[in-house]
Every structure is written in structure tokens, then in C-alpha cells.
Amino acid sequence: MPTDRYSLFSLLREGLRGNTGWKAAWRKAAPAPAYDYVIVGGGGHGLATAYYLARRYGGLRIAVVEKGWIGGGNVGRNTTIVRSNYLLPGNEPFYECSMKLWEGLEQDINYNAMVSQRGVLNLFHNDAQRNAYIRRGNGMRLHGVDAELLDATAVREKLPFLNFDDARFPIRGGLLQPRGGTVRHDAVAWGYARAADRLGVDIIENCEVTGIRIERGRAVGVETSRGFVGAGKVGLACAGNSSRVAAMAGLRLPIESHVLQAFVSEGLKPFIDCVVTFGAGHFYISQSDKGGLVFGGDIDGYNSYAQRGNLPVIEDVCEGGMALMPRIGRVRLLRHWGGLMDMSMDGSPIIDRTPVDGLYLNAGWCYGGFKATPASGLCFAHLLARDEPHPVATAYRLDRFARGAVIDEKGMGAQPNLH
Amino acid sequence: MRLTCPFCGSRGLEEFTYRGDALVRRPAADTSLQTDAQAWTDYVYLRDNPAGLHSELWYHGVGCRSWLVVTRDTRTHRVDDVRAASAVAAERSGGAA
């Protein structure tokens, strides 16, 4: 009998059997004629949605349709950072819900996602930034979330090699969220896929949605490259391609798709034991368990579906890195890639019904979708099953733009390429 | 990616600032927010966001400081056309620049 559950015992047993007995992580499912729920998009959010739907609202027929392969999209194209250091009331409870789910994820789905709460440190460089971070930290603590303000001496003890006395951007301190950290992104995709599969979810890869069938104002299924799949309800979790898929149902979204680049260096001995962000530019860095420096910065800033960016942003990111920690100047780049970001007009996500009955939308994650994966899945599953928003996601309504109730965490206004 | 400014020639991307979809139209000044809020919502928030040819505004801030209308394929970043926004506006209104 194939080995299914991962444990120390099964590891030993399979080690002695030459690892020949492991069951496939998920079945290669073919589409059935109809399901209760069809989730479009087999990324982290889509898979998490299917998992929580199956787990919490049992007895349902659920399919996830994915045009490519599991782990090939943004869930494998991010910098793996998780945190819940948000300021606004509409955001902070949601991201803290996500943080708590990360903390219990591995036991929940029986998969080693390498959740590492190594801390996320946001540096500040002047008095105004210190005040802003004090405010943010207080906001977090009022929501019961951990936040610590470090002065320059405390930061120096933690990361002595930073460029503290830079003439232009001296480091004055930082806001630390000790429970933040990193999670192995591919393992999140595989783990949710496997856990959903075990609960009977059909994960249908290489199945591109080409249309959304609407009858008498209600979505009744999706046209795909592998035929029509009927659905009681259709949930869209298509990240950078949200506008294209929503357009199949005649919807225009408050979203632009942009490209974000990220980078990994050659492997080095461990020297950065947390996630660090540079406050005077846009640069964030952590060190993977393999030793590579994982870092990134701003989006390129123009509409793109190309999954690759341009050189000016690479230069800008590297300048930020050099200003923050000059010792990485001679490190060689190993890989770099681009992913599609569904940049919403206020920088916050949407988890809501659409004007089409039976069609639900999960989109607008900007470049912060990875950390939200568990809560996004949980809240979208709640919305799909109950037809009402989950209590921590009540602010993420699609009509908030028309109502003027935007959640503008960054204070940038209706400008997607600045969030 | 480089843009060929009609006034300055081929220049690197770092000289330009992006300002989004060139096809959105601001409602007429007398459009009431009370009676036609949807027109303002469309203008401020909603975008076609196509995968393919996209007409978009760029500002050549480090060069001639002209506003440009660029036609670009968002799937490949291939630039098909760059025109001065003033010329595009004049053509649309049917008059001279």
C-alpha cells in the first residue's frame, strides 16, 4: 500500500524501502462534467480556497482548473516573505488571521512548508519615518499583533554589517515583527494541492479557461481547453490575469497588471537571520536556507503580461542593496525573474461577489499576495460557501471604489503603479 | 525596453515616467457626482488592462518634457508606435495642434 501520511515513521519506512512507496502528491485529475464549485486558477490562493472549502464545508464537489502547472505562477515567483505589519483596520485583522494560519499550517496540511518566523525588520532613517513606524507599531499592538521598536544600537547588535553611517540615509532604528519571516513558497503550493487532493478536490492542470458561460444572468460553468465544466459557483483566483478572465464575464476591474522582478544570489554562509527592508528606497532581503540572498524592490511601473522586466529597475534594486549593505557588492547573481502583479487601484485586495450571480472574485493582491495565501483561501472559501464576507475580510468589497471607501494603506491614491 | 521619442530619438526607459492607459476619458466638467457617479468611477478606477496592444501615456521628464502616447504590446514589451500626445489630441478633436 502506498505511503500517504508524512511522519518520522513513514520517512524511516520509505527510507528502508528505497522510497518506492510514496503516493503521488496529487492525482492528475480530468475534468468531470460538473462541480459544486470551480476555482479558476491553481496558484496558492486558488488551492488554499479549494482546501478550506473542502475542509470546512464537507461533501462538496470541487475542482481547481489551472492553465499551466501547479507552482508555475506567482506562488513560485515571490520572495517568500510573510508578515502582518499593516496599519489600517480593514487590513490588519486579515493579515494577522493569515499569520496565525501560517503558524499552524504544517500540522494542518501535513506538509513541511519550512515556516520560519525569523522576524521582519523595517528600517527607518529619519524622524518622520520613526514617527510613522511608531504609529504603525502601536496600530499593530492594538490589534494584538507583536511589534517592537528598535533603536540604532539594537539594530546594530542584530545586524552589525549594515551601512549605519551613510551620509544620505543613516539607519536610526527599525520596527521589528518577530513573528514575521519566510515560508518555502513551492511547498505552500504543493502542500495545499496535496491536502486538497486528499479531501477529494480535482486539481486539473493544463486546462485553460477560455470563457465563462452565463445563463439568465448567472454563471453556470466555464469553457475550457478541455471542454465545458459546469459549476454551481465559479471563483476566480487568477492574480495577474484577473482582468482577462473577468472580461470573459463582461466585467472591468479596478486593476492593472504589472511586472515585479525578484533576485537570488549565489549561496553564501548564513549571515542575515531575518528579513530586512531598506526604508529610504524600496529594497527587501532575506537569506534562504540554501544560503542564497533573496531580494527585490519596486515593480517596473508599466502594464505588463510579459513575466520579465527591464534593466532600470534591476539597477535601482541593486543600488538600494548597496546603500543598505555594501558587503553584498561582489556577490554574484544566480537567478532573476518576473511575475505578474494584479495591482489594484488602492493597493488592497478584493474578495467579493461580482455583479454576475454565481461568480466570485479574489484579486488585487498587488505584490503582497503570498503572505495572504492562507487567509485569502479561508475567506474566499467562506464567501463561496456562505455568500457573505468572512469577518476579517469585510473591507475587501468590489464596490468600495464606487463608494469611496478605498483601503489606501500607502496613501498613494488611485494609482496602481505606486502601491 | 527603449522608447523612440519623436523629438529626442531612441532613449532609455529611465528617462520616462509612466502615467497609465491613454484611452480613459475624464467625464465632462459638468458631470455630476450625484447623478452619474459611475462615469467618475470608470474614469478614476476601472481599466481594460489588455494583454496585447496597449495605448498608454509616458512623460519624457529627463528629455524634452513632452507627453507621449505609446502603443506597446504588454505581452512582449514590443513598442509599435510613439507619438506626441498633443498630436494625438489634435487628431482626435479634428483640429490643428
pLDDT in tens, A229-242: 999 999 999 999 99
Residue A82 CB-density burial (10 A; 0-12 exposed, 13-18 middle, 19+ buried): buried
Q: Is the pLDDT reported for residue A38 higher than 90? A: yes
Q: What amino acid occupies position A179?
A: R
Report the top-level CATH class of B2-93: alpha beta
Q: Is the ipTM of this complex over 0.90?
A: yes
Torsion angle defined by CA atoms of residues A412, A147, A104 and A41, in that order, rounded to the nearest 10 degrees: 10
Mutant choice from A243, A300, A302, A348 vs B, greatest count of B C-beta within 10 A? A302
Q: What is the pLDDT of residues A129-154, one digit of tens each?
A: 999 999 999 999 999 999 999 999 99
Task: Note whether B18 contacts A401, CB cutoff 8 Å.
Answer: no
Place of cell 534562504: A288
CB A288 within 8 A of CB A116: no
What confidence score (pLDDT) does residue B97 get?
47
Q: Is the pLDDT reported for residue A5 higher than 80? A: yes
What confidence score (pLDDT) does residue A121 get?
98
**What SS3 class is residue A232?**
strand
Task: Note whether A243 contacts B18, CB cutoff 8 Å.
Answer: no
DSSP A32: P
Q: What is the pLDDT of residues B20-60, one digit of tens each?
A: 999 999 999 898 888 888 999 999 999 999 999 999 999 99
Q: What is the pLDDT of residues A326-351, one digit of tens each?
A: 999 999 999 999 999 999 999 999 99
Nearest to A312 among B13, B41, B42 (CB): B13
Q: So where are chain B's domains?
A: 2-93
Residues of B in contact with A310 (CB under 8 A): 1, 13, 77
Residues of B in contact with A312 (CB under 8 A): 12-14
Q: What is the mean pLDDT of chain A?
A: 95
How would you classify residue A305: left for phi > 0, otherwise alpha for psi between -120 and 50, otherwise beta? alpha
Q: Is the pLDDT reported for residue B96 higher than 70? A: no
Nearest to A402 among B14, B20, B37 (CB): B37
How far does B37 lie from chain A, in Å, by closest CA? 7
Give mean pLDDT, residues A171-200. Answer: 97
| Residue A164 backbone dihedrals phi, psi, to 5 degrees | -70, -35
Tell me the DSSP string of A294-309.
Answer: EEEEEEEEEE--SS--
How far does B90 lie from chain A, in Å, by closest CA? 25
pLDDT band at A2 (very low <50, low <70, confident <90, very high): confident
DSSP B47: B
Task: Note whether B47 contacts A254, CB cutoff 8 Å.
Answer: yes
Residues of B in contact with A308 (CB under 8 A): 77
Cell, residue A22: 510514496
Q: What amino acid occupies position A366?
A: C
A→B contacts (Cβ < 8 Å), by residue, are 241, 243-244, 247, 252-257, 301-306, 308, 310-312, 315, 345, 401-402, 414-417
Query: In angstroms, rounded to a whole number, what is the distance separating the alpha carbons of residues A355 and A245?
Result: 15
- Taking the alpha carbons at both ends of chain A, their separation in whole angstroms is 51
Q: What is the pLDDT of residues A243-290, one digit of tens each?
A: 999 999 999 999 999 999 999 999 999 999 999 999 888 999 999 999
The domain made up of A115-182+256-344 has a fold known as D-Amino Acid Oxidase; Chain A, domain 2 (3.30.9)
Within 13 Å of residue B15, how many CA atoms lie on the same side as its CB?
18
How would you classify residue B49: left for phi > 0, otherwise alpha for psi between -120 and 50, otherwise beta? left
Question: Where does CATH 3.30.9.10 sit in chain A?
Answer: 115-182+256-344
Give mean pLDDT, residues A284-310. Answer: 95
Q: Report chain A's C-alpha Rg in angstroms.
A: 22
What confidence score (pLDDT) does residue A221 get?
97
Q: What percent of chain A has pLDDT over 70?
A: 100
For Cα atoms A364, A119, A277, give the angle at the middle one, nearest 5 degrees: 60
Alpha carbon A406 to chain centroid, angstroms = 21
Task: Note whether A345 contacts B75, CB cutoff 8 Å.
Answer: no
Of all residues in chain B, the one with the smallest CA distance to A305 is: B75
Of residues A276, A300, A301, A272, the one with CA closest to residue A288 = A272
Query: In angstroms, rounded to a whole number, what is the distance separating the alpha carbons of residues A303 and A274?
Result: 32
What confidence score (pLDDT) does residue A54 get?
97
How far does B97 lie from chain A, in Å, by closest CA? 28
Report the top-level CATH class of A8-80+185-254+348-418: alpha beta
Give mean pLDDT, residues A156-168. Answer: 94
Give mean pLDDT, residues A80-93. Answer: 94
Query: In angstroms, rounded to a whole number, what is the distance separating the alpha carbons of residues A78 and A371?
Result: 10
pLDDT band at A416 (very low <50, low <70, confident <90, very high): confident
Q: What percent of chain A has pLDDT over 90?
A: 93
Task: Note whether A401 contacts B45, CB cutoff 8 Å.
Answer: yes
- Kindly state the helix (H) or strand (E) to which residue A231 belongs, with its residue range: strand A227-236
How far does A404 lie from chain B, in Å, by closest CA? 9
Residues of A in contact with B51 (CB under 8 A): 241, 244, 257, 305
Mutant choice from A210, A303, A403 vs B, greatest count of B C-beta within 10 A? A303
